[in-house]
DNA sequence: CTGAAAGCGCTAACAA
DNA sequence: TTGTTAGCGCTTTCAG
């Protein structure tokens, strides 16, 4: 581990000269220094530089669960942009727990320049914790507290829910079930209410017993589907709020021998691998996870530059489009 | 951002006392210091500590692509164990490129204590690059060069391939196609040759034209399946070396209207989500990605401790078991 | 264009 | 048990 002193000695100059060359200044015998650097395999020490500069070329990325394909793709998007600008990322999973986020960020914050987070809670304490970090923050997919002073990236949840509702309506469905995620989250809440609003405007009300709200998990999706089959025999279509719940629900319907779309039309948010290969290739509202990652990283990188340049910036909200991918899991309701 | 001086002043002691308390020593008025710390919201600066100690409580994790579900699960496993021991992880995707690995690690190495990597190449230059890092390294899933002096975690590829071959043989298949990944990688090579060896021992030879070798990608899997359909009409079963290639192949067979297992039995390495929901739920050799991550992190953490304690350790190879999950994509060959 | 020296925040001798 | 101090590797004044 050669350090700057070794290089200086090797090249017969002072350490200041090395440092200057590394930061792009012109020096007299650049050739000798370059040779010394490559001969010794010198790499500036990141900790020393971070300590001195207060900048670490590192972004903290906190997601609920890195092993969820959607979040993995999101992280990939952030990583691509960050790497391109010479930044690296520290990744942590929160398991949807505020305390995990808080602990991780507490121990991390003075080693990173910015934070990209899919927050577990929309709570006030989350907003406060993030504000107190004193570093650029971008919220992804979900908001937090009231008027958060952060950049924000999410997809057009309302538009997606609207397309879903209109599509189901256009096929003739009038008795529809809904499986939605936690209403304390932005996507959980917006997708749910917007979907119901569109139906309602068309004179279609979703019954209490046809509405299931819970965690964004495969387990809850499964449970909700089972409950729907138990208690409400009348629905002809179901709308599910995300991919993990959708997988659970699909498994439950399949196990119970419910034919899709013969007995039940199925529509959900988020695409997934192999969707085309299912017996009834599933129709989805898909969103661009990688692009969301790109947008989030761009926002952060811009703000880091801005902080350097001393120019304050407005907080920006980026809303990315979703699209309705029609496959074969929805049809007209069965005739009675 | 309060620092140790602020705390010392606030509590009326010297900075050394603070530092001591933080490292668990007994001090006289611990109460006052604790109060000062929480009032000022003091957090020791990670860069300063890293610079001073040369230890960073950080592990670099390099995988080919974090958005691949298998690698995402692997990272999750590493993360779980690392976090539990107070370590954090820096994640980077290499896109199967040596240069990316080398660049990333070069810029990273003096900010981390150890490296977990799924290396892109089994090449000698990879072995050398990793050795020159001078830090604990664990290789996951693949080896590198000859007699690498690293810990190694992988699954029982040979056993899995053997089970696959025996299962297909037991169903009566005699003309079998193989789609395998890059032979420069451990799993690519072992799965391929072991599979062929078992068949060969049973007197079954796989024809040249029924063997497709390429990248571990969805695109290659698709292409290979298409080629198989074009050139070799005689195969009754196909064995695919991993999940991404399997997805591509499945898509191709489906598009061509090949019925599984009616026309063709299908068996692959790696489980995937929704496998049970496919028209022919696919039979797989599945491996424990999270457990591999746990094992890798444990090895690294032990070695970091060992380095501290000055006790040298043997390099350890951990081989985790795989299992044959029989679903419905394999049957007896069609009768002619 | 260059070098000497201060100091980022912390830990670990060393002295008391 | 405590305080003083050197120094981890680097960047950046300040003089030259």
| Torsion sign, CA atoms A104, A110, A116, A122 | positive
Q: Which residues of chain B make contact with A86, given a CB cutoff of 8 A? A: 107
User: In this structure, is the CB of residue A256 within 7 Å of any atom belonging to strand D?
Assistant: no
What is the rounded distance in angstroms from the CA atom of residue A92 to the CA atom of residue A82? Answer: 16
Strand D nucleotides, any atom under 7 Å from protein beta carbons: they are 1-5, 7-13
pLDDT at position B60 is 97
Distances A298 to A62, A87, A155, A314, B189 between C-alpha atoms, Å: 17, 12, 16, 14, 40
Per DSSP bridges, beta strands A283-286 and A323-325 are antiparallel
Query: Does residue B113 register a pLDDT over 80?
Result: yes
Residue B207 per-residue DSSP state: P
What is the rounded distance in angstroms from the CA atom of residue A175 to the CA atom of residue A313? Answer: 48
CATH 3.40.50.300 describes domain B4-44: no
> Out of B56, B91, B277, whose CB is closest to A278?
B277
Task: Say if CB A191 and CB A162 are below 8 A apart.
Answer: no
CA of A31 to C1' of C3 (A): 19
For chain A, residues with pLDDT lower than 70 are 232, 307-312, 336
Shortest CA gap A89–chain B (Å): 6
Q: Which residues of chain A make contact with B109, given a CB cutoff of 8 A? A: 43
What is the rounded distance in angstroms from the CA atom of residue B26 to the CA atom of residue B8? Answer: 16
pLDDT at position B177 is 96
3-state secondary structure of B115: strand
pTM of the model: 0.92
What is the rounded distance in angstroms from the CA atom of residue B152 to the CA atom of residue B316? Answer: 6
Distances A248 to A4, A179, A188, A255, A258 between C-alpha atoms, Å: 56, 11, 17, 11, 14
> Out of B76, B89, B277, whose CB is closest to A254?
B277
CA of B114 to C1' of C9 (A): 24
**pLDDT, averaged across chain B:** 92
pLDDT at position A311 is 59
Half-sphere exposure of B61 (CA within 13 A, CB side): 29
Domain boundaries, chain A: 4-44, 58-155+289-321, 157-287
Q: Which H helix or E strand runs over B62?
A: strand B58-63
pLDDT level of residue B336 (50, 70, 90 thresholds): low
Residue A231 corresponds to which tokens in the numbers above?
């208690």
pLDDT at position B148 is 73
pLDDT at position B311 is 59
pLDDT at position B107 is 86
C-beta neighbour count of B225 within 10 angstroms: 29
CA of A268 to C1' of C16 (A): 73
**Contacts of B292 by beta carbon, 8 Å cutoff, 6+ apart:** B74, B77, B140, B141, B153, B154, B155, B320
Sheet holding B114-117, edge to edge: A317-320, A151-155, A137-140, A114-117, A58-63, A88-93, B88-93, B58-63, B114-117, B137-140, B151-155, B317-320
User: In this structure, is the CB of residue A23 within 7 Å of any atom belonging to strand D?
Assistant: yes
Residue given tokens 């002619």 in the structure block: B336
Look at A105-119, A305-319, B95-109, B187-201 and tell me which has the smallest mean pLDDT.
A305-319
Mean pLDDT within B220-227: 97
pLDDT at position A107 is 85
Query: Does residue B308 register a pLDDT over 70?
Result: no
CB contact under 8 A, A274 and B250: yes
Pairs across A and B, CB distance < 8 A: 146
| C-alpha B117, offset from chain centre | 8
CA of B153 to C1' of C13 (A): 41
Q: Specify which of A315-324, B24-33, B141-150 reaches the highest per-range mean pLDDT.
A: A315-324
Query: What percentage of chain B has pLDDT greater than the value 90?
Result: 80
- CATH architecture of the domain formed by A157-287: 3-Layer(aba) Sandwich (3.40)
CA of B130 to C1' of D7 (A): 30
User: In this structure, is the CB of residue A5 within 7 Å of any atom belonging to strand D?
Assistant: yes
CB contact under 8 A, B91 and A79: yes
Q: How many residues does chain A have?
A: 336
Query: Does residue B95 register a pLDDT over 80?
Result: yes
What is the rounded distance in angstroms from the CA atom of residue B63 to the CA atom of residue B188? Answer: 16
Check residues 7 to 46 of chain B and report those whose beta carbon is under 7 Å from nucleic acid strand D: 13-17, 20, 25-29
Strand-pair partners of A271: none
Shortest CA gap A51–chain B (Å): 5
Query: Does residue B310 register a pLDDT over 80?
Result: no
What is the rounded distance in angstroms from the CA atom of residue A207 to the CA atom of residue A16? Answer: 74
Residue given tokens 């070069």 in the structure block: B106
Q: Which residues of chain B make contact with A51, given a CB cutoff of 8 A? A: 45, 47-48, 51
Listed in sequence order, the DSSP H helices in chain B are 4-11, 15-22, 30-40, 46-53, 69-84, 98-108, 124-133, 157-170, 186-201, 218-231, 243-255, 289-309
Higher pLDDT, B233 or B239: B239
For the residues of B225-262, what is the DSSP string, one character each?
A: HHHHHHH-TT-SEEEESSHHHHHHHHHHHHHTT--TTT
Task: Say if CB B88 and CB A90 are below 8 A apart.
Answer: yes
3-state secondary structure of A236: coil
Q: Which residues of chain A make contact with B86, given a CB cutoff of 8 A? A: 107
Residue of B nearest to A45 (CA): B110
What is the rounded distance in angstroms from the CA atom of residue A240 to the CA atom of residue A176? Answer: 11
Closest nucleotide to residue B15 (Cα to C1')?
D3
pLDDT at position A152 is 95
Per DSSP bridges, beta strands B114-117 and B58-63 are parallel
Closest nucleotide to residue B27 (Cα to C1')?
D1
User: In this structure, is the CB of residue A13 within 7 Å of any atom belonging to strand C?
Assistant: yes
Task: Say if CB A300 and CB A259 are below 8 A apart.
Answer: no
CATH topology identical between B4-44 and B157-287: no
CA of B16 to C1' of D7 (A): 15
> Out of A69, A88, A110, whose CB is closest to B108?
A88
Residue of A nearest to B107 (CA): A43
Domain covering A58-155+289-321, topology: Rossmann fold (3.40.50)
pLDDT at position A148 is 74
Q: Is the peptide bond before A125 cis (omega within 30 degrees of 0)?
A: no
pLDDT level of residue B1 (50, 70, 90 thresholds): confident
Amino acid whose CA is nearest the C1' of C7: A52
Strand-pair partners of B269: B285
What is the rounded distance in angstroms from the CA atom of residue A129 to the CA atom of residue B237? Answer: 57
3-state secondary structure of A54: coil
Mean pLDDT within B311-334: 91
Mean pLDDT within B92-115: 93
User: In this structure, is the CB of residue A29 within 7 Å of any atom belonging to strand C?
Assistant: yes
Shortest CA gap B76–chain A (Å): 6
What is the rounded distance in angstroms from the CA atom of residue A266 to the CA atom of residue A282? Answer: 7
């Amino acid at each position: 581990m050669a350090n700057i002193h070794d290089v200086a000695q090797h090249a017969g100059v002072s350490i200041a000269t090395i440092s200057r060359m590394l930061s792009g200044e012109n020096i007299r015998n650049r050739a000798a220094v370059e040779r010394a650097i490559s001969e010794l395999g010198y790499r500036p020490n990141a900790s020393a530089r971070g300590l001195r500069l207060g900048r670490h070329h590192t972004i903290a990325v906190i997601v609920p669960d890195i092993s969820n394909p959607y979040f993995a793709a999101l992280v990939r998007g952030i990583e691509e942009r960050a790497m391109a600008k010479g930044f690296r990322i520290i990744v942590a999973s929160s398991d949807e727990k505020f305390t995990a986020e808080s602990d991780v960020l507490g121990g991390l914050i003075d080693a990173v320049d910015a934070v990209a987070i899919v927050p577990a809670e929309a709570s006030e304490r989350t907003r406060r914790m993030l504000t107190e970090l004193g570093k650029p923050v971008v919220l992804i997919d979900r908001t937090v507290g009231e008027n958060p002073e952060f950049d924000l990236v999410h997809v057009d949840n309302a538009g997606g829910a609207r397309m879903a509702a209109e599509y189901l309506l256009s096929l003739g469905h009038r008795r529809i079930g809904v499986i939605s995620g936690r209403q304390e989250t932005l996507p959980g809440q917006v997708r749910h209410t917007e979907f119901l609003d569109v139906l309602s405007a068309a004179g279609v009300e979703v019954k209490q017993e046809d509405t299931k709200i819970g965690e964004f998990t495969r387990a809850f999706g499964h449970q909700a589907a089972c409950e729907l089959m138990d208690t409400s025999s009348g629905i002809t279509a179901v709308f599910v709020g995300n991919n993990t719940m959708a997988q659970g629900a699909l498994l439950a319907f399949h196990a119970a021998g419910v034919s899709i779309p013969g007995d039940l039309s199925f529509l959900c948010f988020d695409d997934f691998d192999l969707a085309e290969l299912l017996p009834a290739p599933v129709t989805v509202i898909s969103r661009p996870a990688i692009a969301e990652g790109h947008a989030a990283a761009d926002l952060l990188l811009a703000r880091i530059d801005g902080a350097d340049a001393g120019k304050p910036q407005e907080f920006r909200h980026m809303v990315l489009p979703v699209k309705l991918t029609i496959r074969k899991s929805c049809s007209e309701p069965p005739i009675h």
